[in-house]
Amino acid sequence: MTRAVLSIGSNLGDRLGYLRLAVAGFADVLVAASPVYETAPWGVLDQDDFLNAVLIVESADVDEWGWLRRGQQLERDAERVRELRWGPRTLDVDVVTVDDVRSTDPELLLPHPGAHERATVLIPWLDVAPDAVLPGHGPVAELLRGVSAEGVRRRDDLTLTP
Ligand SMILES: Nc1ncnc2c1ncn2[C@@H]1O[C@H](COP(=O)(O)OP(=O)(O)OP(=O)(O)O)[C@@H](O)[C@H]1O
Ligand SMILES: Nc1nc2c(c(=O)[nH]1)N=C(CO)CN2
């Protein structure tokens, strides 16, 4: 059995629809889905706001590479076009952690190297897992104390399950 934490994001087109597409794609393995947050972009600042959320998924049949592949298939289903690094996208699925697996393979870095400093990941993750620990970094609740939550707004009017 593996349990993964996935960060999903969209800032192009039907943003909520794309996040829902991801949730539907993981419906058979879904343990929890966080609230939806509207977030100011980081990385490339001159782009539209994102919707972000975190999913917890679990399966006896999927290893860390399987979670990556399933996320990438959903990105393709969302007709994502790879253009700019950190640029606009219909759907991004990042594998944040898979249990306490460590990987330095550039195709699958685990834990995700940006997670510890991204409020867009840490805030929704804490919502669904208050005791979560990011391997190598510590409790998510503590990491959040060192990160600015500016530009991260909870959107309770948007729900991931229709
Ligand atoms: N933990 C991970 N989750 C998802 N993709 C990963 C992970 N580690 C490495 N990758 C690789 O990253 C590439 C995808 O990069 P992508 O363009 O989505 O990056 P990004 O989302 O713009 O930036 P960031 O990875 O900083 O969020 C893929 O080739 C994938 O194999
Ligand atoms: N707020 C926010 N900004 C981003 C995001 C994201 O998910 N949320 N993803 C990016 C590329 O991975 C680049 N910038």
Predicted confidence (pLDDT) per residue in 64-88, tens digit: 999 999 999 999 999 877 677 778 8
Ligand 1 centroid distance, CA of 28 (Å) = 24
Whether residue 146 has pLDDT greater than 80: yes
Residue nearest to atom 1 of ligand 2 (CA): 41
The whole-angstrom separation of Cα 161 and Cα 148 is 28
The pTM of this model reads 0.97
Residue pair 96/12 in contact (Cβ under 8 Å)? The answer is: no
| Cα-to-centroid distance, 75 and ligand 1 (Å) | 11
Contacts of 106 (CB under 8 A, 6+ apart): none
> Where do the structural domains in the chain lie, given as residue ranges?
2-154
Q: Tokens representing 2?
A: 């593996």
Which structure tokens are listed for 49? Answer: 């706001």
What's the pLDDT at 82? 67
For residues 10 and 92, give the distance between their C-alpha atoms in angstroms, rounded to a whole number.
6
Ligand 1, pocket residues at CB < 6 Å: 68, 85-86, 92, 94-95, 107-110, 112, 114
Atom of ligand 1 nearest to the CA of 112: 1
Proximal ligand: closest to the CA of 10: 2
Task: Locate 54 and state its tokens.
Answer: 């975190």
Q: Compute the distance between CA of residue 14 and CA of residue 23 in angstroms, rounded to an integer.
A: 14
Look at residue 80 in the predicted model and tell me its pLDDT: 75
25 pLDDT exceeds 80?
A: yes
Closest CA to 161 of 1, 2, 9, 26: 26
CATH architecture of 2-154: 2-Layer Sandwich (3.30)
Task: List the residue whose alpha carbon is closest to atom 3 of ligand 2.
Answer: 41
3-class DSSP assignment, residue 2: strand
Q: With beta carbons less than 8 A apart as the criterion, state whether 18 and 10 touch.
A: yes
